[in-house]
Amino acid sequence: MSIFKGSGVALVTPMKENGDINYDSLEKLIEAQIAGGTDALIVCGTSGEAPTLDDPEHLEAIRFAVEVTKKRIPVIAGTGSNNTAHAVMMSEESEKLGADGLLLVTPYYNKATQDGLYAHYRKIASATKLPCIIYNVPSRTGTNILPETVAKLAADQPNIAAVKEASGLISQVARLARLTEGKIDIYSGNDDQIIPICSLGGVGVISVLANVAPRETHDMVMHCLEGRYDIARALQLRALPLVEQLFIEVNPIPVKAALNMQGFNVGSPRLPLTELTAAHKESLRQAMIDFGCLEP
């Protein structure tokens, strides 16, 4: 049940000054991503500030993205939760709204066991026909889903389609690739590991970098997947200073500042996230200029 190959953007959620979602800016972002070659939209994930979206606006953002995109590229809805029943409900509603897939972060804070993670994902995936992407990001959740658990889910639940691997552990990704034997897609969840993960059999990235450099991120993946490793490696290495700046403070603080510099009017993050500091804005601006995604 492959959803996409290439670059999926972890899209930000633009906000107005009063904190409401700015749908005019969201439409402009979506159109710019499609024009820039992005292969899938991931809406209402970490970069989309899902933790501070209430259910009605979360679902409205998904509905709006589906409507604007018009099936030109897949729309993957972030519906994960540390409450299994809530994740089931959000997943069922997103399917009704026309989403093409689901991104399901590992449960955070309550720190499930591997047996609990298996049961959690089986419960959600069984409630929908949509392909599901397990999102493994231990630095945020405090939970690391092991390759053995993912392999068991892939064998037992047909619509467990992929893993977004953001553990940063290349050896774990290698073990995941060996145990799943191509039965599920592997996406890099870290922009500084796109080429290493693709070299182990990954098929793309779910990317923060793609918000500000969609064409370059798409090209980086496709050069690698099509065997042009020297070009792909050069793009990966050239992007590293910008990637470092996009994570100089917690995501999505820097990427929202970057998009505002590019004129997309995405506003500020919602509290408890705050504006990027002035010193970091300057270093981010310079990295964008050096990479070529912002005019001097």
Give per-residue pLDDT as tens, 59-100.
999 999 999 999 999 999 999 999 999 999 999 999 999 999
| Domain residue ranges of the chain, discontinuous segments joined by + | 6-225
CA distances from 37 to 159, 195, 268, 286 (A): 26, 18, 26, 24
- pLDDT the model gives residue 115: 98
pLDDT band at 116 (very low <50, low <70, confident <90, very high): very high
Element (H, E) at 194: helix 194-199
Reply yes or no on whether 70 is catalytic.
Answer: no
From the list 118, 135, 152, 187, the catalytic residue is 135
The residues near 158 (Cβ < 8 Å, ≥ 6 apart) are: 1
Mean pLDDT of 213-227: 98
pTM of the model: 0.96
CA separation for the pair 174, 185 (Å, rounded): 13
Q: What are the tens digits of pLDDT across the range 38-48?
A: 999 999 999 99
> How would you class 201 by CB atoms within 10 Å of its CB: exposed for 0-12, middle for 13-18, buried for 19 or more?
middle
Write the Ramachandran bin of 44: left for phi over 0, alpha for psi from -120 to 50, otherwise beta.
Answer: left
- pLDDT the model gives residue 1: 72
Mean pLDDT of 25-29: 98
Mean pLDDT of 169-180: 97
What letter represents residue 24's amino acid?
D
pLDDT above 90 for 253? yes
Provide the total of helices (H) and of strands (E) in the chain, helices listed first. 12, 8
Q: Is 46 helix (H, G, I), strand (E, B) or coil?
A: coil
The residues near 35 (Cβ < 8 Å, ≥ 6 apart) are: none
CATH class of the 6-225 domain in this structure? alpha beta
- pLDDT the model gives residue 202: 97
CA separation for the pair 51, 58 (Å, rounded): 10
CA nearest to 75, candidates 121, 117, 22, 29: 29
Reply yes or no on whether 164 is catalytic.
Answer: yes
pLDDT above 90 for 201? yes
pLDDT band at 214 (very low <50, low <70, confident <90, very high): very high
CA distances from 275 to 210, 253, 279 (A): 20, 6, 12
pLDDT above 80 for 34? yes
pLDDT band at 252 (very low <50, low <70, confident <90, very high): very high
pLDDT above 90 for 137? yes
Mean pLDDT of 117-124: 98
From the list 152, 164, 256, 281, the catalytic residue is 164
Mean pLDDT estimate for the chain: 97
